Structure 1
Amino acid sequence: MILLPRQHVDPIGGDPLRPETLPPICSALSCSASRPAWLPRPRQPAMPSLIEQLPTELQRLVLSNLDYQSLIFLSTLNRHFHRLVDPQRMADPADKFQFVMRAAKDFAKHRPSEKGQDHQPGNFECYVCFRVRAPEHFDVLQAPAAYFDPQGRVVSDREPGPGDRVMALRRFCVECGVKYGLHAPFDCLTTKTGQDLWVCQCRQVWQKPDCLRCPDCGSSCPLRPKRKW
């Protein structure tokens, strides 16, 4: 004789081994074969905003009416607008000029602060890249003027000629000065925070005395800074 184990039947008539009669956690673990129950559900993609759903031509038309400050904010909103919006290229030059001047003067985070004996200089505006930057990005002895040739290029590698004209310079950061030739190779700079810098032959900026020889072009820091103006 073969003895079979007795199965206890639910008085209501349900089968104790069927999934619908198991506790919720057991049902989830036994019936979910595609994804374990302890894993989070995949995030649903964010719905594009109304302006993102417009044709690109209409988006650019809307952007053309925004000021510099609004374009900066919009470019940081999401990836779509970060790719689409270029505040430097799209904003009006006069609007950029007015905004950085107002930001450096009126925005509290850019003002100097004095707490006891700790003095923190404020930030400064650059009128080339139209950004407000920390004081270590600016030369304390910036040239007040420069010569430009008829094509608008800075005259730095030769003596000024009859066709060149001198122009007054507004404040610019070290990065823009090197990029546009306002700081020439072998110039020595001192930032508004007291850092000593020098420009190598390949137009990289190095800090003294940490680096006195450029590892790329091999040029060395000048022993005596040349006169810039």
Structure 2
Amino acid sequence: MLDLDTGKLKTYDNNHGTWTYFLDNNCTHPFPNNKLYFVGDHIIYKGLEKEIDEKLARHNIGIYSLDTETMNIDEPILLFPEVIYTLNKSPNESYYISQFDFINDGKNIIFSGTYEKHRGIFIYDIDTKEIINVVFSSNISSYTLSNDKTKILYCINGNHGNKSMYLAHIDKNTLVSKKCLYNEVQLNLSSWWSPDDTFFLVNEKEYSSSPEIDGCRFDKIRKFNIAE
């Protein structure tokens, strides 16, 4: 990490295992605290004296935070059960987080991914450490939160490239007032919220099936008022 004030590089150095991680645009806690939150997999190897196909790795997947002052990684705020896989396999089929956000004034975390081999969107209660599956689907894609983090748009991928899009309101640990906006349409859907959350836009991107113009994309922007 580069300190822009001093121009010096800060590094995290720990010889106990290795890390795989990713950051996204929403990895910052809602309260100022010099913390950088990220999805990490702390990997500890065992059986290194054996043949490559027999080597094992212990995976500790969760949401960790890095103290940007001390460059220490804190105890994870969300930690999945440890799983052991051979080096040629990934734990993603059991546990995986593709996207996460803090909601309810930092009391909960909403995330999409896989938990105990079930895919969907989940809400995690930081105090009780309970994980609730609020959208169950083996074909869930990413979600988009409103700026006030009280509403959510999400898509479910169906058969033959069909997509369905839903709008829901977040009420503590549940999603309420679910509304289907698109039902199994042949469109590539993406969405954006207005700054004041009074409306959102959906890009209805359609791919031509005509051989003469194969691969061309047709964009149509549709506006939804939140009162609808």
**Same fold, TM-score > 0.5, yes or no:** no
Please identify the structure whose Cα radius of gyration is greater.
Answer: 1
**Greater per-residue strand proportion:** 2
Task: Give the helix-richer structure, 1 or 2.
Answer: 1
